[in-house]
Structure 1
Amino acid sequence: MTVRSYVRGQDIVRDGDRPSECCLILAGFAFRYKLLPDGRRQIMAFHTPGDMPDLQSLHLQVTDHGVAAMMPTQAAFISHKKMQVLTGRFPGLLHAFWRDTLIDAAIVREWLVGNGRRDAHERIAHLICEMLLRFKGVGLAPSDTFNLPATQADIADALGLSNVHVNRVLQDFRRDGLITWTNYTVSVLKWDELQVRGTFDATYLHQVHKAAA
């Protein structure tokens, strides 16, 4: 595989590309997005280390969206031919990729429900809950604290809100003692209450937790 580095805002995969390789996020943070003709942006997903945001390119010839770095990010690229050899030799890997794709679709469904039916407080609380669990899943959220390198404009573009609305909701959450959000560091202080605020049910993440010994 080939490892490449990206700065904030730089495309890892571009809309309209015909990729011959898949990427794995090694370090940093990325987002999936689509631009309208007039430049308006919709962020459709956030990707933590360990994610393969363009796995679908194994079977779809043309990329219909972009994937970009939200902070200095490293990604490893593996050719489609080598991926096909690996999955042919190791069927368990093929099933793991299929499961990953299904969970990615489950997250998209949850975001669709959120942006269509949840109010602003519910959307932002839900997003914070999701990202905490996803960062925990890769060991990057000690003491319920994680680094989310998203600006208020990024959050607005992900959740269909205005920058002003995002700012007001975050102020409410800080005032109520639910979270702290300093620069890009988010700490969840009242997990149970934040889940209630966000109508959050983690089932769609399908995380598997080992029982304590």
Structure 2
Amino acid sequence: MRQTKSHLVRKLQRGATLCSTDMARLDDLTRVARLVAPGVDLVQEEDRPRRVHVVTEGVACRYRHLPDGRRAIVGLMLPGDFCDLHMSVLGHVDHAIGTLVPSRIARVDATEVLALVDASSGISRACWWASLVEESILREWLVNVGRRPSIQQVTHLFCELHARLRAVGLGGETSFELPFTQPVIADLLGISPVHVQRVLRSMRNQGLITLQARRITFPDYDVAAEFAHFDPGYLHLDGAPHR
């Protein structure tokens, strides 16, 4: 009898019905995960990856370096997320993927993942769903960065992190451990670290969050979500129709 589910299985079950064999096969993908220090590239720009990476602990990100040396983060991979599920199809990648904090990363041959997808309609649907959710998150990030003031941007980001972590069994009902530093928030939202400090101070003063060490708590989650115009529908955590 299965006692626990990996973060990968917890996530993919949101998008498809997985039988016990599917879950066992997916668990096998992440059974061996190596500890990776923060700031290590898993994939570099122009690489031609032959492996798929899965985050089992920690956080990784997609990013681009600008000519002046600044970094723009364009995606976050949390526990249970594939980093580069379909990269082998593209031939080479147009961005880098690196760890933000000490993380455990499973590395799987792309051919092994493709074989699982071919062998199981449930896994195929789940992986397709995961890719579509990534696109949905990117669209919401474009709206967040392009059209919301900074305090709403950060609040929205925190609401998203809380929802995504809860979906894989991490975090509390109204709190979560912020898995990275303020400079990372700056690179995510395109603002300065100093401005991030000001925004966090304003959020605390307005009662949107409390911050102790790295524990973010929403005194009233509904108030914070309404303030940020956060609707979790774009995360599709209620699952897709199972066929």
Of 131, 135, 138 in structure 1, the residue corresponding to residue 168 of structure 2 is 138
CA RMSD of aligned residues (A): 1.4
TM-score when scaled to structure 2? 0.82
Q: Tell me which amino acid in the other structure corresponds to 1:129.
A: C
Contact 1:6–1:12 (CA<8 Å) still a contact in 2? Answer: no
C-alpha spacing 1:182/1:10, structure 2 compared with 1 (3 Å) = farther
Aligned to 1:87: 117
Identity %: 37
CA deviations over 1:111-142 (Å, ceiling 9, x no partner) = 00111111111101110110010010011112
Correspondence 1:98 to 2:119: no
TM-score when scaled to structure 1? 0.93
Count of paired positions: 209
Contact 1:32–1:43 (CA<8 Å) still a contact in 2? Answer: yes
Correspondence 1:129 to 2:159: yes
Q: Tell me which amino acid in the other structure corresponds to 1:150.
A: F
* Relative contact order higher in (CA < 8 Å, ≥ 6 apart): 2
Correspondence 1:46 to 2:72: no
Structure 1 segments, 4+ long, off by >3 Å, are none
Alignment of 1:50-89 (within 5 A): 50-89=80-119
Distance 1:208 1:168 in 2: 35
Aligned to 1:37: 67
Q: Tell me which amino acid in the other structure corresponds to 2:232.
A: A
- SS of 2:179's equivalent? coil
- 1:80 Cα deviation after fit: 1.3
Alignment of 1:139-178 (within 5 A): 139-178=169-208
Structure 1 unaligned segments of length 5 or more: list them.
none
Aligned to 1:181: 211
- SS of 2:157's equivalent? helix
Alignment of 1:11-26 (within 5 A): 11-26=41-56
CA deviations over 1:171-208 (Å, ceiling 9, x no partner) = 01111222122332212221111112211111100002
Structure 2 unaligned segments of length 5 or more: list them.
1-28
Q: Tell me which amino acid in the other structure corresponds to 2:210.
A: T
Contact 1:121–1:197 (CA<8 Å) still a contact in 2? Answer: no
Contact 1:8–1:70 (CA<8 Å) still a contact in 2? Answer: yes
The structure with more strand, counted as a fraction of residues = 1
- 1:3 Cα deviation after fit: 2.6
Aligned to 2:238: 208
Aligned to 1:196: 226
- 1:36 Cα deviation after fit: 1.0
